[in-house]
């Protein structure tokens, strides 16, 4: 080997293909959704228990910070859903060519962000 290999990779300088970004975001969104399950279950329990806890739920959800967190969770869910459908299609050997894989990755990003904006407009 004539070239010396780098000892430390600078991941900020590496440009990942869009397919790798979508796949990584799929994993991250799944982990985020898993970690926020206790919050979501608490919010569901607060909304269903009694009229007093429902009012506490409404006041908690009215805060802009919690609205932003919930909007992020909506995006994580929608992205995870769209990327999961893409991964299922890839498992069925559909869209495995380079052009189709790039197009489906871009479609996942566009559709998940678009649906999040629609959900945010309805919920905000």
Please provide residue 41's backbone torsions phi and psi, each rounded to the nearest 5 degrees.
-65, -35
- Distance (Å, rounded) from C-alpha 59 to C-alpha 62? 5
Residue found by looking up tokens 């790039």 in the block: 102
pLDDT tens digit sequence for 93-115: 999 999 999 999 999 999 999 99
How far from chain centre, in Å, is Cα 41? 19
Q: What pTM, to 2 d.p., does this model score? A: 0.84
Residue found by looking up tokens 């919930």 in the block: 70
Please provide residue 50's backbone torsions phi and psi, each rounded to the nearest 5 degrees.
-140, 170
Among the listed residues 57, 33, 61, the one whose alpha carbon sits nearest the alpha carbon of residue 45: 57
pLDDT tens digit sequence for 45-85: 888 999 999 998 888 888 999 899 999 999 999 999 999 99
């Amino acid at each position: 080997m004539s070239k010396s290999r780098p000892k430390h990779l600078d991941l900020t300088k590496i440009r990942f293909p869009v397919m790798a970004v979508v796949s990584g975001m799929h994993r991250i969104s799944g982990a985020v959704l898993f970690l926020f399950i206790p919050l979501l279950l608490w919010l569901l329990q607060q909304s269903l228990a009694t009229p007093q806890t429902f009012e506490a739920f409404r006041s908690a959800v009215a805060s802009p910070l919690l609205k932003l967190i919930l909007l992020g969770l909506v995006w994580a869910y929608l992205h995870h859903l769209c990327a999961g459908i893409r991964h299922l299609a890839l498992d069925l050997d559909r869209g495995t060519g380079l052009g189709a894989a790039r197009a489906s990755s871009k479609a996942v990003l566009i559709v998940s962000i678009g649906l999040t904006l629609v959900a945010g407009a309805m919920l905000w």
